[in-house]
Amino acid sequence: MRFLIVNVSDILQEAGSVLSIQNSLNLGNITWQGEPLRFKEPLSITGTLTNSGGALILNADIRGKIILQCGSCLESFEKNLDFTVKARLVGPSNNTEPDDFVFEGVEVDISDMVWEFLLLEIPIRRRCKDPCKGLCPECGVNLNRETCQCAGSEESDQSLALDQRLQVLKDYFSAESKEV
């Protein structure tokens, strides 16, 4: 995982001072919970760090695209990311809230905060589309793209039966028309 270091020396002294952030974060390829998370391009990060007196408040909009794996058909699909990171950064001696991020010195790495909020954006049930037909449990073909004999057998039996019934009707009518 790459870092995104922001130098906060300009805003550390004075409460109320604001530092704008306009940056990009390249997360590359990550394995998370045994699954690949891929990013086509760096995430764009736009926002501010504000000295609130005693803490730095990060407020940033994150945009980008993540490539996830469908849990049903195992194909990759793209999901747009657009979320806000709000976090409180404090020095080691001010660390009172459980959600606080701790920083030391004049350099703050905001990639941890982006990452933490990013994970909330990843759906537990990952589907390429809704509904995804998934893979055939018999032969393994992707049923979104192909049909197979095993999956279609029930359906073709039904349509065959329907064809037979229509054929009977056809015969009936043609027999009748012959009599007329």
Rg (CA), the chain: 29
The least distance separating Zn ion from the CB of residue 37, rounded to whole angstroms, comes to 17
Record the tokens describing residue 124, joined without a space. 């537990």
CB neighbours (10 Å) of residue 68?
A: 19
Site map 57..86 versus Zn ion, x via CB under 5 A: -------------x-xx-------------
Q: Which residues from 132-171 bind Zn ion, rule CB under 5 A?
A: 132, 136, 138-139, 148, 150-151
Which amino acid, one-letter code, is at 87? A
The least distance separating Zn ion from the CB of residue 67, rounded to whole angstroms, comes to 13
Output 22 or 153, the one with its CB closest to Zn ion. 153
Output 43 or 128, the one with its CB closest to Zn ion. 128
The least distance separating Zn ion from the CB of residue 161, rounded to whole angstroms, comes to 21
The least distance separating Zn ion from the CB of residue 146, rounded to whole angstroms, comes to 9
CB neighbours (10 Å) of residue 114?
A: 23
Confirm or reject binding of residue 49 to Zn ion (CB under 5 A). no
What is the secondary structure of 126-177 as a DSSP string? --SSSS---B-TTT--BTTT---HHHHHHHHHHHHHHHHHHHHHHHHHHHHH
Integer CA distances (angstroms), 106 to 9, 28, 45, 111, 129, in order: 5, 26, 20, 16, 45
The least distance separating Zn ion from the CB of residue 81, rounded to whole angstroms, comes to 19
Output 59 or 69, the one with its CB closest to Zn ion. 69
Contacts with Zn ion by CB under 5 A lie at 70, 72-73, 128, 132, 136, 138-139, 148, 150-151
